[in-house]
């Protein structure tokens, strides 16, 4: 059975999608932009700061579902410019000191709203 996950601790969905959906064992987030809960888009901020905001949004969604960042098993990262990879990776590593999830990082033609990065994630309830 599918359950919609919604929290005010992460930016509200701005279209026909949910912040996340959950099944018995898996939580799948929508792509998270560097948006604050107040709706401020950090599109002019350095990519490291944008990365941190995306991951903080994911953490808030996980928390609302009773999960932790360690519950992530797969992360997909969409970058406007692969030249930003090192700065992204340094900020990303701050969140995963041990046993990081599997990850893909892909350069795309554009991320919504002019941001430099968008991150989506899959987490599990299984230990």
- DSSP symbol at 32: B
Name all domains of the chain by residue range, CATH numbers in brackets.
3-124 (3.30.1330.40)
pLDDT per residue as tens digits for the range 31-58: 999 999 999 999 999 999 999 999 999 9
For the full predicted model, state whether its pTM sits above 0.85.
Answer: yes
Structure tokens at 127: 């230990």
pLDDT per residue as tens digits for the range 55-112: 999 999 999 999 999 999 999 999 999 999 999 999 999 999 889 999 999 999 999 9
Structure tokens at 91: 């900020």
């Amino acid at each position: 059975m599918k359950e919609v996950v919604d929290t005010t601790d992460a930016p509200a969905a701005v279209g026909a999608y949910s912040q996340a959906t959950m099944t018995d064992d898996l939580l799948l987030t929508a792509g998270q932009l560097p948006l604050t809960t107040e709706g401020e888009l950090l599109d002019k901020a350095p990519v490291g700061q944008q990365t941190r905001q995306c991951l903080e949004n994911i953490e808030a969604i996980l928390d609302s579902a009773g999960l932790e960042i360690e519950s992530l098993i797969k992360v997909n990262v969409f970058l406007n410019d692969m030249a930003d990879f090192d700065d992204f990776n340094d900020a990303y590593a701050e969140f995963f000191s041990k046993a990081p999830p599997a990850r893909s990082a892909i350069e795309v033609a554009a991320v919504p709203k002019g941001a430099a990065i968008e991150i989506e994630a899959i987490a599990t309830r299984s230990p």
